Structures are given as C-alpha cells and as structure tokens.
Amino acid sequence: MLKTPTHKSRAPVAMQLTTDLVARTLRVVDDEGPEPNWTPISSRQLDELVSRVEKEAGDEEIWVFAYGSLMWNPGFDVSASEEAVAHGWHRAFSLRIERLRATSDAPGLMLALRSGGSCKGLILKLPCATKRQDLRTLLAREIRYSEVCDMVRWVTVKTSTGTRRALTFWASANQSQLTEKISLDDAAVLIAQACGPAGSCAEYLHRTVSDLVDRNIHDRNLWQLQEMVASKLLAIPED
C-alpha cells in the first residue's frame, strides 16, 4: 500500500525588525505644528468632506478599507469586519511626512494606496448609531490638510461574501510632491531615521507588518522593507 507523502509545514520566519531595534528609533520629539507648506483642514472643510462622503454613501452602510494602521488602530468601535482584497491597488510607503512620526530634519514615510497590483486587508463597518461622528473623526485623522481632500475615495473590494464598496485613503496623483513613487532602498533610509511626537516610522512599519503576520497576510514588499530597515538600524552604532 502506497503511503501518501506528508509535508511538514515550514516554521514562520521571524521578523528581522525586532522590538529592540524599534526601541533604538524612539525618542522624545517636540510637536512642531502642521506640515510645512500645507494648510490644516478647517472645521468647515471637514464638515463639507463628511457631508460629501455621506451623500456618496446614500442609504448604504459605510465600510472602510483598512490596509495599514487602521487595521491595528481603527480609532472607532468597529461594528463588523471582514477580510477583503482591493484589486488594482497596493500598499506602499510613499506618503512623505515631516511631522507626526518625523521632523523636517529627519523626514519619513507613511503608507498609502497606490494603483497597480492587489492589496489584502480588512473592511471595517462604522457603527450606525455613531456613524457621522465616527466618520468625522476618521476623516480628521486621515485628511489633515485641505490640499489633500481628494485623497479619500471609494474602491470596490472582494470579500468571502461578495463585493463591497469601501471608503479608503490613497496616494492621489494630483499630489505628486507628497506621494512620489519611492524605491524600497530610499524608503528604508527614511523609515530608519524618522521619529516624531507620535513615535517612529520604524515602529509604524513594525506594528503594521506584525499585524499582517498575525492575520496571515503576506505583503512581499513590506516584508522586504522591514528586513532592509533592520539592516540599516543594525549598522548604526549604539550610544
């Protein structure tokens, strides 16, 4: 009798960007105010953005496609969630910042959606009872400047139960100076150096990749990026 061959599952490879390495990037940084050369969104503009999204949503529930920090820190009580794939988009560290997790002397990068490829993440449902309040809080967090109000949009995502329309935040081509395409090596340099009052970019990368690993989501570029950032941090002599 022939025996069916068995295949041992490979043990998961540990992240090279460890918590100890991330700790090296953390320091106390004073808040320097808004991003230079950008106009903080006004309360009126934010209300208009909320109304625009509500009008576009109509009577439908509002789902948000989360692919980065919204996965591990949504900032609102999620009433339901599903794994989802956005085809035609991919996550990339391409949003240049000089505040929050960076400074003008040591700029950094945050995640945004860029066109091309596919992106696996989550869709999060805003609670009906507090939908407008939570939507306003979400938009205030993600759209901080009036010049980037077009960086919120709807995308179609696929889930195990079918397709849904979800709100998300993307790297608008109209904001090229803010969202230029950046090579992984250049991104690793910026992420390794940047820290601001909200923490470091390396911490943000570590938390995002760790969360993806916990959800059994493999993002090849982010996995390679955490290895590259770890290598750069290891090359810096400790004080």
CA distance 106 to 184: 17
- How far lies 71's CA from each of 30, 78, 114, in Å? 27, 11, 18
DSSP element (H, E) containing 48: helix 43-57
Selected catalytic residue, list 35, 98, 142, 147: 142
SS3 180: coil
CA distance 55 to 22: 42
Straight-line distance from the first to the last Cα atom of the chain, in angstroms, rounded to the nearest whole number? 65
CA distance 181 to 198: 24
User: Is 142 one of the annotated active-site residues of the chain?
Assistant: yes
Place of tokens 């992984």: 184
Residues annotated catalytic, as ranges: 142
